[in-house]
């Protein structure tokens, strides 16, 4: 069988060791003779799972005690509405628009009646191939917060430096580069991330929120209130128990690999290997401004849609799976999240070289 490398943007590749552990424990979790899927979320076994997952994330991201960690449902998409509803009622929100996901976040906030939305910068004019410049004066300390998408999963654009303004609360959609960066949690008021890119399977969303931003708001349904979710330990209702268990296993694996610092180092190594080849290639290009290039999602194309299609088909047959670019941009995209092995990038580069040789 050919070796398969999975370049999916999400749900994405998981560490093999984690899948093997889940398999080994599937029918009998920790001597219970029951699967994790069959355990009550109120059982001591599951409470131990969620508490350990939280502690592991705190250790890996160096999350201070005055931040809450929540395990919610609804994906990052639900957070597009939940953050404004909780943090910005009657106030203004500012956004930096770096691409598809930021645009979705903006649209979701615009439908809320009691918040006002201001886009302070956008890279739409360059096809979302950069982080737009914006003047410090454009940032309003009176706004509830400034929202950024730290990594645009479709465009492959990243904030390698986090903008920092005195007295301005920063909210970040970190779905596609959480734990694959060198950010400092204390630079943010709130961070959210769907698990299915860097942290585990789909079904659970991590929210890290500074305690002073939690307000009791009786006009919000409990389920949508961070304050209530925090108060109830993310268990207002039945949480996605198996997904949380899997996130816990992935986080243990990350710790064993050397933690966030090692993940960040590996992410740079993987990405640079691919960018170095693309930049000297006469066939493949990546159009993102060099200093904003993502380490986790690398779009590339040949500038010939027919050739892109051929590449994707031949790559697929050779074991390089899910390399098709997002339908909104076409071309190819290699998503290289934490669990993606370096050998897979080396093999892809060799494959691309051979393809270039044959098709130039
Ligand atoms: C995948 C993704 C989302 C959407 O996540 P869901 O869990 O599917 O709602 C939002 N933002 C970014 C940056 C993403 O990569």
- For the chain, domain boundaries: 16-256, 259-358
Distance (Å, whole) CA 60 – CA 27? 29
265 belongs to the catalytic site:
no
Q: Which helix (H) or strand (E) holds 279?
A: helix 259-280
DSSP character string of 241-265: HHHHHHHHHHHHHHHHTTHHHHHHH
pLDDT of 62 > 90? The answer is yes
Q: At what angle do helices 342-359 and 305-317 cross, to 10 degrees?
A: 130
> CA angle, corner 304, sides to 302 and 310, nearest 5?
80
| pLDDT one-digit tens code per residue, 264-301 | 999 999 999 999 999 999 999 999 999 999 999 999 99
Q: Is 150 in the pocket of ligand 1 (CB under 6 A)?
A: no
Mean pLDDT for all residues in the chain = 97
Nearest CA to ligand 1 atom 14: 175
Class in CATH terms, 259-358? alpha beta
304 belongs to the catalytic site:
no
Calculate the CA dihedral of residues 51, 57, 63, 65 and round it to 10 degrees: 10
Q: How far is the CA of 204 from the centre of ligand 1 (A)?
A: 11
Return the pLDDT at 217: 84
Q: What confidence category does residue 183 fall into, taking pLDDT thresholds of 50, 70 and 90?
A: very high
| pLDDT one-digit tens code per residue, 111-145 | 999 999 999 999 999 999 999 998 999 999 999 99
- In 286-337, DSSP assigns E strands to 297-300, 320-321, 332-335
- In the chain, DSSP assigns E strands to 5-6, 67-72, 92-97, 116-122, 145-149, 151-152, 157-158, 170-173, 190-194, 205-210, 297-300, 320-321, 332-335
Distance (Å, whole) CA 203 – CA 74? 7
Average pLDDT of the residues in 304-311? 97
Could you identify the atom of ligand 1 that is nearest to the CA of residue 194? 7
Return the pLDDT at 190: 98
Nearest CA to ligand 1 atom 2: 175
Distances (CA, A) of 269 to 40, 151, 251: 42, 17, 21
| pLDDT one-digit tens code per residue, 314-330 | 999 999 999 999 998 89
> Helix H segments across 26-163?
44-61, 75-87, 100-110
Per DSSP, the three-state class of 210 is: strand
Distances (CA, A) of 207 to 83, 104, 107, 156, 329: 10, 18, 20, 23, 29
Burial label, 357 (beta-carbon count in 10 A; 0-12, 13-18, 19+): exposed
Distances (CA, A) of 335 to 224, 305, 331, 347, 350: 31, 20, 13, 14, 17
Q: Is 10 in the pocket of ligand 1 (CB under 6 A)?
A: yes
| pLDDT one-digit tens code per residue, 191-244 | 999 999 999 999 999 999 999 999 888 889 999 999 999 999 999 999 999 999
Q: Which two tokens stand for residue 36?
A: 């994790």
Nearest CA to ligand 1 atom 6: 75
> Distance between alpha carbon 218 and the CA centroid of its chain, in Å?
31
197 belongs to the catalytic site:
yes
Average pLDDT of the residues in 177-189? 98
CATH tag, 16-256? 3.40.640.10
| pLDDT one-digit tens code per residue, 18-59 | 999 999 999 999 999 999 999 999 999 999 999 999 999 999
Burial label, 50 (beta-carbon count in 10 A; 0-12, 13-18, 19+): buried
**Residue keyed to tokens 């982080």:** 131
Q: Are 331 and 299 in contact (CB under 8 A)?
A: yes
Return the pLDDT at 215: 85
Catalytic pick from 68, 197, 308, 324? 197
Q: Are 103 and 149 in contact (CB under 8 A)?
A: no
Q: Which two tokens stand for residue 202?
A: 């789909």
Calculate the CA dihedral of residues 192, 197, 200, 205 and round it to 10 degrees: 20
């Amino acid at each position: 069988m050919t070796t398969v490398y999975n370049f999916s943007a999400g749900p994405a590749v998981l560490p093999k060791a984690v899948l093997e552990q889940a398999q080994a424990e599937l029918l009998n979790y920790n001597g219970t003779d029951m699967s994790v899927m069959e355990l009550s979320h109120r059982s001591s076994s599951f409470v131990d799972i969620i508490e350990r997952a939280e502690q592991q994330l705190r250790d890996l991201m160096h999350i201070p005690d005055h931040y809450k960690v929540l395990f919610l449902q609804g994906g990052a998409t639900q957070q597009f509405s939940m953050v404004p509803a909780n943090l910005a009622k009657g106030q203004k929100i500012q956004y930096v628009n770096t691409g598809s996901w930021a645009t979705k976040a903006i649209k979701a906030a615009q439908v809320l009646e009691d918040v006002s939305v201001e886009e302070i910068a956008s890279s739409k004019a360059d096809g979302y191939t950069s982080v737009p410049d914006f003047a410090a004066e454009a940032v309003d300390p009176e706004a509830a917060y400034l929202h950024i998408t730290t990594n645009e999963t479709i465009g492959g654009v990243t904030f390698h430096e986090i903008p920092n303004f005195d007295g301005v609360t920063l909210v970040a959609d970190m779905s596609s580069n959480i734990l694959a960066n060198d950010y400092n949690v204390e630079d943010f008021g709130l961070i959210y991330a769907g698990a299915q890119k860097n942290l585990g399977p789909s079904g659970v969303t991590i929210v890290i929120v500074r305690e002073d931003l939690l307000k009791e708001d009786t006009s919000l349904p409990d389920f949508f209130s961070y304050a209530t979710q925090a108060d109830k330990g993310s268990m207002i209702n039945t949480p996605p128990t198996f997904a949380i268990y899997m996130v816990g296993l992935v986080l243990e694996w990350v710790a064993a690999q050397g933690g966030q610092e090692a993940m960040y180092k590996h992410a740079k190594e993987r990405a640079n290997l691919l960018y170095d080849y693309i930049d000297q290639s006469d066939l493949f290009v990546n159009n993102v401004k060099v200093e904003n290039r993502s380490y986790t999602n690398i779009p590339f194309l040949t500038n010939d849609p027919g050739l892109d299609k051929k590449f994707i088909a031949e790559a697929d047959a050779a074991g390089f799976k899910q390399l098709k670019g997002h339908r909104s941009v076409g071309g190819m995209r290699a998503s290289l999240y934490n669990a993606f092995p370096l050998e897979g990038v080396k093999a892809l580069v060799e494959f691309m070289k051979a393809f270039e040789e044959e098709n130039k």
